[in-house]
A and B are shown apart, each in its own frame.
Chain A
Amino acid sequence: MPWGEFKDTAAERRLFQRRALVMLTVVVLALGGLMARMYQLQIVENDTYTTLSDKNRVQVQSVPPPRGLIYDRNGALLAENRPVFSVTIVPERVEGMDDTLSELEGIINVSDQDLERFDRRLHEPRRPYQEIPLRYDLTEEEIAKLAVHRHELPGVEVKAELVRYYPHSVLTSHVLGYVGRINREELQNIDAVNYAGTNYIGKSGIEKFYEKTLHGKVGYQHVETNARGRILRVLERENPVPGEDLQLQLDLRLQKKAYELLDGRRGAVVAIEPKTGGILALASVPGFDTNKFVTGISVDDYRELRESKDKPLFNRALRGQYPPGSTLKPMLAVAALDSGATTRTKKIWDPGYFQLNDTGRRYRDWKRWGHGWVDLKKAIAQSCDTYFYGVAVDMGVDTMSGYLSSFGFGEDATLDVSGALSGLLPSREWKRAARKEPWYPGDSVNLGIGQGFMLATPLQLATATALIANRGQWVEPRLLKDVLGDDPVNKVLPPETHEPLKLKNPSDWEYVVDSMAEVMEGAHGTARRAAQGAPYRMAGKTGTAQVYSLEEDEEYDANEIRERLRDHALFVGFAPVDDPKIVVSVIVENGGSGSGTAAPVARAMFDTWLLDLKHGEDSGKVSMADTKGAN
């Protein structure tokens, strides 16, 4: 059959046209339906989708304020912020964490420590979409390499972040403290809004105490981001209020001197300006590099610091609680005179020991054959134990405890020194509560030479010595000198709380000061060698504290045992005698004798402050002006 049978072409065309009309109707209805859908989305629900689109596009980001800087009293920078480029990961935006990490390892150098730290932070609680740093301190080459690969790595960003840096980290480690990443506990206690963009918080020292002042106020910016969270432009910005800069009482040069004087040994030096209570130097040796803690110290480094037998993390100046030994004698002398337990003229015969009664135990003087006839001045100058044994028993524990507490023992008298311990001031009540025993007269005998239960920190000893230097005027130790911002210093510095110590006979102060000067100047003064040739007069008191026992889990080799069983050497003092500019307390652990080891350290501190740094006679007026400014 050729093409087609006989066909009714007209009928077929009509049939087709009817069908085409049906289809045209379908098309009109369908396209009309699509237009209706568009009307619904674009006109009726326009607001909803505009909001969604803006929410997609615009994100509010918090801008962390730059942390306030810290200067010493001369304007030397102690803590600053440095821009550090780090590579960070937002886990929510990463497609495969393992793949991303291994790809990053191919691009930049990532150590096992970095990975371990990253992994730890990944499993800590954190804000959603908060980035986690993987590696800090990228080199320019690494930044460039990452820029090339950034499209293959969603969720990975190079961030410029201001990170705390301590230019003199080891020297100032125990004064400034350090900042570190906000941890789980801190996260619950901080103001979530103000810290929304902040990653670091003061962990110890000044950084911790003045956290609020140093931190500043968070800012905001509305940014346009793409679907991968990359910021394309800033639409609106409210700038953060930077943290306020702090000026400390600390003198970096004196601090450096203090550290160097003890370098290689273990100990602490505290120097206080007696007029203001300003802490001029506060060194605990050895120190440690605080910069390592800022971005997160590695487990190995931390273990090394922790397990070092020199305990570099231990702040001896604030937290080292030692028996004060004979350095307590000037304070006890003040107590004895004022309470009437002794007089300036009273003399005793020292046979080399003291007995509570004729048959009792003999409490030995350090000088086995005795000092002979001894009055209070000689007892201080030559550190006669027998004299103080007797005076202590005459005063009794209640009187001693009361006076010593006026000197700031048994409390943290500091204004802004974070983490200072209060030592241990024994009393009848304390012994009953802590030891379930009554106070025995023998306990008073021991307390009379600063041994027994009594414990004090080097900072407390310096504070008590400053009270003598000030002839009863209290100055609480403080680190802050000035706030270099809007806040007046007394707004952030806690108020002073101590009343002056008023003696019945105020001239007793001069008597005790003279006695302490005798320690340095007298023919038999215990620290006379340390004071030789000084162009100014100084007052002081030596001391030794017995090392009772080793902790069970500590292991030392034979030579070290001998070295570490030696007494701690102590010294407290001030200079010049008549117009004190500097109070110093020194402890050298296992240093042997206070006169031989600790006193020379104090002398060097005096020299540096009074002679090298010229805070001698003529600078008195400046100091007075400072006093007013600080108060």
Chain B
Amino acid sequence: MALKDLMDSGSANPLGRPRSIWTTLHLDPVLLVLLLLLICSGLFVLYSGADRNIEVVKAQGIRMTIAFVVMLVFAQLDPAVFRRWAPWLYVVGLIALAAVLVAGVGAKGAQRWLAIPGLPRFQPSELMKLVVPMMAAWYLSRHYLPPRFSHVAVGLGIVLLPMGMIIEQPDLGTSLLVGLAGIFVVFFAGMSWKLISAVFAMVSVSAPLMWFFVMRDYQKQRVLTLLDPQSDPLGAGWNIIQSKTAIGSGGLEGKGWLLGTQSHLEFLPESHTDFIVAVLAEEFGFIGMGLLLTTYFLIILRCLYIAATAQDSFSRLVAGALTMTFFIYVFVNVGMVSGLLPVVGVPLPLISYGGTSSVTLMAAFGVLMSIHTHRRMLAA
């Protein structure tokens, strides 16, 4: 199998060659180059999306530096550390989520932040993006794989509990990402296709029930708006109409950097945060979008390779799930901005303005690099 060959040939140290400088630093050069490429070009797009506000770019640069340092730190830790810590972090995370529900702070009717005196404000749900897949991987990798039905059930329980707490905040975007991260672990662990089909069937059946009993009005509105943006062109439909207009008017080559009228004339809302990809599409056109999605694809490809070549099940499951979470970010964000998916608060990873998710994402890449560079000298 071609892919398998590719993966094997890339193994870091198959023949006991001297450890390379990258292994010593616990970094993966391919991933590193791709990430830096993405982050740097992202800052250029951000400068345009923020309407030439250099302060925004500086602030983002500082955040990205911090996130980069976090990645370096995570890369130094042995995967075994993550495995050992996973249950404890999971418990701490659940407590923090409960605390958010009781005494969280936030804005716009949602409580997402926890302010503990003496500590910087933080979002426990962000932490759970890393911890939930680790916990699920920890649990499932203790047993034979593929897991038995009961193990799958417990694994899903581990995922659904924090997911439900995050929905309650309410924060649909993050709960989706946390939930999917965990579910990917279960999937990678080898949950049987029968079971997967059964779950899909259940979801299809329960979707109408969700509509009537679980989804909040504003969430329903987002779905309705997606289906017919013109129904409320100045209200909820505005974002979608304007972002589609921005993307569509970009054409093949785009209008040129800083020359996008939709964003610079303020027609495009959230042009430096969730909708920044529309700025890129408007100014760099189909070619720019092709390059962006190719970069994302190469990162995902490299990460899946890292996962596939990892030495133990825990590492594989965590690496695979984190990779797919990253993919979900890209897909949901671009799908939302281009009018394929309802508007959900998911940023374009490593490009949208905003600190928390960048740090979490870079931490995840740190974990991946750690997995790739901490190898025991065992025969494969």
Which residues of chain A have a CB within 8 Å of any CB of chain B?
A: 3-5, 7-9, 12-13, 15-17, 19-21, 23-24, 27-28, 30-31, 33-35, 37-39, 41-43, 45-46, 48-50, 52-54, 56-57, 224-228, 232
Contact = CB atoms under 8 A, between A and B. Distances in A.
B245 A16 contact: no
A228 B327 CA distance: 36
B304 A42 contact: no
Interface in B221-273: 241-242, 244-252, 261-262, 265-267
A43 B290 CA distance: 13
Interface in B315-352: 316-317, 320, 324, 327, 330-331, 334-335, 338, 340
Nearest to A6: B144
Contact of B285 (A37, A42, A54): A42
B188 interface: yes
Contacts of A20: 188, 304, 307-308, 320
Contacts of B334: 34
A56 B281 contact: no
Main secondary structure of the interface of B (DSSP, over half): helix
Given A23-B320, A228-B266, A38 B289 contact: yes
Interface in B169-206: 184, 187-188, 190
Nearest to A13: B316
Contacts of B249: 46, 49-50, 52-54
3 smallest A-B Cβ distances: which pairs?
Answer: A49-B248, A53-B249, A226-B265
B286 interface: yes
A225 B245 CA distance: 16
B104 interface: no
Given A24-B301, A49-B247, A226 B338 contact: no
A224 B317 CA distance: 53
B207 interface: no
10 contacts: A12-B145, A12-B190, A16-B313, A23-B304, A31-B330, A33-B340, A34-B338, A38-B289, A226-B266, A232-B265
Interface string B266-288: 11000000000000010001100
B4 interface: yes
Contact of A38 (B241, B247, B301, B331): B247
Interface in B151-180: none
Given A45-B248, A56-B245, A56-B267, A31 B297 contact: yes
A17 B266 CA distance: 47
A34 B286 contact: no
A42 B248 contact: yes
A7 B314 CA distance: 13
Given A23-B324, A34-B334, 11 more contacts: A3-B142, A8-B144, A12-B316, A20-B307, A23-B187, A31-B331, A34-B340, A38-B290, A41-B338, A53-B261, A53-B262
Contacts of B304: 20, 23-24, 27
B316 A57 contact: no
Nearest to B234: A92
B275 to A, nearest CB: 13
A16 B300 contact: no
A297 B261 CA distance: 43
Contact of A35 (B3, B289, B327): B289
Main secondary structure of the interface of A (DSSP, over half): helix
Interface residue range, chain B: 35 or more
B277 to A, nearest CB: 10
B44 interface: no
A3 B331 CA distance: 37
A224 B250 CA distance: 18
Contact of A43 (B252, B262, B265, B300): B252
Interface of B: 3-4, 7, 141-146, 184, 187-188, 190, 241-242, 244-252, 261-262, 265-267, 281, 285-286, 289-290, 293, 296-297, 300-301, 304, 307-308, 312-313, 316-317, 320, 324, 327, 330-331, 334-335, 338, 340
Given A7-B144, A9-B312, A38-B286, A16 B188 contact: yes
A602 B263 CA distance: 73
A21 B5 CA distance: 13
A388 to B, nearest CB: 78
Nearest to A12: B145
A56 B248 contact: no
A21 B3 contact: yes
Contact of A19 (B187, B286, B290): B187
Contact of B286 (A4, A8, A9, A39): A39
A27 B300 contact: yes
A50 B248 contact: yes
Nearest to A19: B188
A358 to B, nearest CB: 92
A52 B331 contact: no
A224 B265 contact: yes
A7 B313 contact: yes
B308 A30 contact: no
Contacts of A7: 144-145, 313
Contacts of A12: 145, 190, 313, 316
A138 to B, nearest CB: 26
Contacts of B285: 42
Given A34-B335, A43-B252, A16 B316 contact: yes
Contacts of A23: 184, 187-188, 304, 320, 324
Contacts of A13: 308, 316
Nearest to B142: A4
A27 B323 CA distance: 10
Nearest to A34: B334
Given A49-B248, A56-B261, A42 B289 contact: yes
A227 B320 contact: no
A35 to B, nearest CB: 6
Contacts of B308: 13, 16-17, 20
B69 to A, nearest CB: 29
Given A20-B307, A41-B244, A52-B245, A227 B251 contact: no
